[in-house]
């Protein structure tokens, strides 16, 4: 209920709140109804959508997005808490910027609020995306309003006109890399993203599947391949295997020094789990590749950036090999 409580304390506007319950069995729906009766500010509206099964992050967010007709739609994960000015500060990013379709928050680690979770996103040229500033101490290095690649789906705002043009989340992704796919698709269609450091959210990291989940690694790898097949320009497609090999090599070297994502999977057994998850992710992507290629062709209808322009955009917002191999998400 912490996420809902933080939304009920938003200042400067009266949002319409839509809660999508993804088949929970822990009494969450009853708790939301109790919150609506007892704690929702007078005059506010809260709609609860109850799914009978877990439809995934993408489908659930699409349900919430398209259940509203608001000009701007914000997403807040149930494991995040927003500061009282969060919505207002995100909304400001669209003022006098008609080509801005997305706004990114400054997301801090809930357990360690002096540390950054994400301040927008970066991408490595093999399609693996990573939060900008992930794991860094917050020393004010991301305290300026600026353009970023795209927002993290944990706490973001989207322009309705953009969503109507490019569509919502790709439900084939289920969870992970979904915000990157939507963000890059929107950038290809000519929309920009602005980051506001005053739009602050605190996030419990890895609460969806857990930071040590093998299933999480599998989905991240599978969806990396799907994103590349669907959206990457040709000149990055043929270099993808090379970039991937460099990242895996750098990640292996980092693991030997107990750095990076691999440190969450200790010992030889843990490293075997990583290898198995990567293999399953690659194999899991294969049946979906024909569908991604069909979607790639349909993308031409909304394309405004050329292939070289997309490549330049990704390289401008590129995360270094050292950072992506030694950081842990």
Q: 254: pLDDT confidence band, cut at 50, 70 and 90?
A: confident
How many other β-carbons are positioned within 10 Å of the β-carbon of residue 28? 17
Structure pTM? 0.93
d(CA 108, CA 152) in angstroms, rounded, equals 12
- 173 and 269 inside one domain: no
Distance (Å, whole) CA 15 – CA 74: 9
Q: Is residue 180 part of a domain?
A: yes
Most confident residue range from 5-14, 96-105, 253-262 = 96-105
Tell me the mean pLDDT in the region 220-249. 95
Domain that holds residue 275: 214-326
Is 258 part of a structural domain of the chain?
yes
Query: Does 163 share its domain with 242?
Result: no
pLDDT over threshold 60, residue 207: no
pLDDT of residue 329: 62
Q: What is the pLDDT of residue 264?
A: 73
Judgement on whether residues 195 and 58 belong to the same structural domain of the protein = yes
Q: Tell me the backbone φ, ψ of residue 182, rounded to 5 degrees.
A: -65, -40
Closest CA to 155 of 173, 179, 139: 179
pLDDT at position 270: 81
The count of domains in the chain is 2
pLDDT on residue 261? 75
Task: State phi, psi for 220 to the nearest 5 degrees.
Answer: -60, -45
Q: What pLDDT, on a 0 to 100 scale, did the predictor assign at position 266?
A: 73
From 66-75, 96-105, 169-178, 208-217, the region with the lowest mean pLDDT: 208-217
Statement to judge: residues 157 and 292 lie in one domain:
no
Find, among 193, 198, 213, 189, the residue nearest to 270 by Cα: 213
Query: Which of 203, 224, 242 delimits the end of a domain?
Result: 203
pLDDT score of 247 more than 90: yes
End residue of a domain, out of 203, 227, 252: 203
Q: Give Cβ neighbours of residue 293 (< 8 Å, ≥ 6 apart).
A: 229, 230
Half-sphere exposure for 38 (CA within 13 Å, toward CB): 9
The contacts of residue 161 (CB under 8 Å, 6+ apart) are 71, 101
Instruction: Tell me the pLDDT tens digit for each residue of 90-149.
Output: 999 999 999 999 999 999 999 999 999 999 999 999 999 999 999 999 999 999 999 999
Q: Has residue 209 been placed in a domain?
A: no
As a three-state string, the secondary structure of the chain is CHHHHHHHCCCCCCCEEEEEEECCCCCHHHHHHHHHHHCCCCCCEEEEEEECCCCHHHHHHHHHHHCCCCCEEEEECCCEEECCCHHHHHHHCCCCCCCEEEEEEEEEECCEEEEEEECCEEECCCCCEEECCCCCECCCCCCCCEEECCCCCCEEEEEHHHHHHHCCCCHHHCCCCHHHHHHHHHHHCCCEEEEEEEEEEEECCCCCCCCCCHHHHHHHHHHHHHHHHHHCCHHHHCCHHHHHHHHHHHHHHHHHCCCCHHHHCCHHHHHHHHHHHHHHHHHHHHHHHHHHHHHHHHHHHCCCCCHHHHHHHHHHCECCHHHHHHCCC
Band (328; pLDDT cuts 50, 70, 90): low
- Euclidean distance between the first and the last CA atom of the chain, given in angstroms as a whole number: 25
Confidence of residue 259 (pLDDT cuts 50, 70, 90): confident
The answer to the question of residue 14 being in a domain is: yes
* Residue that terminates a domain, selected from 203, 228, 254: 203
What per-residue confidence (pLDDT) applies to 43? 87
Only one residue has tokens 């075997």, namely 272
CATH number where 150 lies: 3.90.550.10
* Residue written as token pair 């927008």: 120
**What percent of the chain lies above the pLDDT cut of 70?**
97
* Residues 282 and 165 occupy one common structural domain: no
The pLDDT confidence band at residue 206, using thresholds 50, 70 and 90, is low
- The alpha carbons of the chain give a radius of gyration, in whole angstroms, of 19
Look at residues 320, 208, 238, 228 and name the one whose alpha carbon lies nearest to residue 281.
228
Examine the domain organization and report whether 37 and 143 are in the same domain: yes
Residues 33, 143 share a domain:
yes
- How open is the CA angle 109-258-249, to the nearest 5 degrees? 105
Considering the domain architecture, whether residues 188 and 273 belong to the same structural domain is answered as no
On whether residue 208 sits in a domain, the answer given is no
Q: Dihedral (C-alpha) 270, 276, 280, 282: value to the nearest 10 degrees?
A: 100
pLDDT of residue 255: 81
pLDDT digit string, tens, across residues 51-98: 999 999 999 999 999 999 899 999 999 999 999 999 999 999 999 999
Please check whether residues 234 and 318 belong to one and the same domain: yes
Q: Do 173 and 255 reside in the same domain of the chain?
A: no
Does one domain contain both 88 and 145?
A: yes
Same domain, 21 and 77: yes
Whether the pLDDT of residue 25 is over 60: the answer is yes
């Amino acid at each position: 209920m912490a996420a809902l409580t933080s939304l009920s304390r938003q200042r400067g506007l009266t949002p319409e709140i839509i809660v999508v319950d993804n088949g929970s069995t822990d009494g969450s729906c009853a708790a939301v109804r109790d919150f609506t009766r007892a704690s929702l500010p007078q005059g506010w509206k809260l709609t609860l959508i109850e799914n009978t099964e877990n439809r995934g992050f993408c489908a659930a967010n699409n349900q919430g997005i398209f259940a509203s007709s608001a000009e701007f739609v914000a997403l807040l994960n149930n494991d995040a808490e927003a500061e009282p000015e969060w919505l207002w500060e995100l909304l400001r990013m669209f003022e006098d910027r008609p080509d801005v379709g997305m706004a990114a928050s400054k997301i801090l680690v809930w357990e360690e609020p002096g540390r950054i979770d994400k301040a927008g996103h970066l991408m490595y040229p093999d399609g693996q995306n990573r939060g900008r500033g992930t794991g860094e101490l917050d020393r004010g290095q991301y305290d300026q309003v600026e353009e970023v690649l795209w927002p993290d789906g944990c706490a973001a705002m989207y322009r309705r006109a953009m969503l109507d043009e490019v569509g919502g989340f790709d439900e084939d992704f289920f969870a992970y890399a979904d915000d990157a796919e939507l963000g890059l698709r929107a950038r290809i269609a000519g929309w920009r993203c602005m980051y506001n450091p005053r739009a602050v959210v605190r996030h419990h990291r890895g609460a969806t599947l857990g930071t040590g989940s093998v299933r999480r690694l599998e989905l991240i790898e599978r969806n990396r391949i799907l994103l590349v097949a669907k959206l990457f320009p040709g000149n990055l497609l043929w270099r993808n295997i090379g970039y991937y090999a460099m990242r895996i090599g750098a990640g292996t070297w980092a693991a030997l020094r107990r750095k990076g994502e691999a440190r969450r999977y200790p010992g030889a057994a843990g490293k075997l789990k990583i290898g198995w998850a990567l293999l399953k992710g690659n194999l899991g992507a294969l049946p979906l590749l024909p569908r991604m290629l069909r979607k790639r062709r349909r993308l031409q209808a909304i394309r405004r950036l050329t292939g070289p322009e997309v490549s330049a955009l990704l390289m401008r917002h590129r995360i270094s090999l050292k950072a992506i191999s030694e950081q842990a998400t």
